[in-house]
Amino acid sequence: MNRRSFLAAASSATAWAQSGGMARIDVQSHLYCPDILAFMEKRGGSPWAYRKDGERYVEVGKWTRRVLPKHTDVAAKVADMDAAGIAVTLLSINDPGPELFGADGPKVARFAHDFLASVCRSHPGRFHGLATLPLQDMEASLAELDRVVQKYDFRGILLYSNLDGHWPDEPMFRPLFRRAEQMGIPILLHPAYPMIFDATAGYDLWGSIGLMTDSTIALARIILSGILDEHPRLKLVCPHVGGTAPYLIGRMDHQAMVLKRGAERIKRPPSEYLKQIWLDAVSPLPQAIRFGLDFVGPDRMLYASDHPWVDPKLIASCIDKLSLPADQQRQIFADNARKLFRL
Three-state secondary-structure class, residue 93: strand
Is CATH 3.10.25.10 the classification given to domain 3-33+73-340? no
Residue-wise pLDDT for 125-167, tens only, equals 999 999 999 999 999 999 999 999 999 999 999 999 999 999 9
Instruction: Write down the pTM of the prediction.
Output: 0.93
Alpha helices by DSSP H, the chain: 3-18, 34-41, 74-83, 105-122, 138-152, 174-183, 197-200, 205, 211-225, 227-230, 239-242, 245-253, 270-274, 286-296, 312-320, 326-330, 336-340
Residue-wise pLDDT for 181-208, tens only, equals 999 999 999 999 999 999 999 999 999 9
Q: Can you give the residue ranges of every domain in the chain?
A: 3-33+73-340
Residue-wise pLDDT for 261-285, tens only, equals 999 999 999 999 999 999 999 999 9
Contact assessment for residue 342 and residue 90, using Cβ atoms and an 8 Å cutoff: no
